[in-house]
């Protein structure tokens, strides 16, 4: 099982390193519970790899875009980008690329 994220620069092209990212799981009480947290590496990637660690349910990656752009002294519209997704089969790979610019973003399920 793997869960990973990849942040790509929609203006300059290429990866964005140093973007804070957190993976949360929706708990049975309806509250988000943190699973793992870190920052994208030099290739714009962050991954969580653990056999048996993922269970079916609802998850979200939360990208700290406001903090990232503030360090660049760049204004941005979205201070954070939450991407909520469903895990139906924990044996599958769940990869979430984020194409990011200061005023827009897009995402999809990658493989």
Note down the domain range covering 103: 2-107
Predicted confidence band of residue 91 (pLDDT cuts 50, 70, 90): confident
pLDDT digits (tens, 9 = 90+) for 12-43: 999 999 999 999 999 999 999 999 899 999 99
β-bridge pairing 93-101 and 2-9: parallel
CATH of the domain at 44: 2.60.40.180
* CA triple 8-53-109, angle to 5 deg: 30
Q: Domain count of the chain?
A: 1
Q: What percent of the chain has pLDDT over 90?
A: 82
């Amino acid at each position: 099982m793997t869960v990973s994220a990849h942040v790509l620069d929609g203006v300059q092209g290429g990866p964005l390193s140093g973007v804070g990212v957190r993976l949360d799981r929706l708990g049975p009480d309806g509250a988000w519970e943190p699973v793992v947290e870190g920052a994208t590496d030099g290739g714009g990637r962050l991954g969580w790899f653990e056999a048996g660690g993922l269970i079916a349910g609802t998850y979200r990656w939360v990208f700290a875009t406001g903090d990232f752009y503030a360090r660049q002294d760049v204004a941005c519209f979205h201070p954070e980008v939450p991407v909520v997704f469903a895990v139906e089969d924990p044996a599958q790979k769940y990869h979430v690329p984020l194409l990011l610019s200061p005023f827009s973003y897009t995402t999809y399920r990658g493989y």
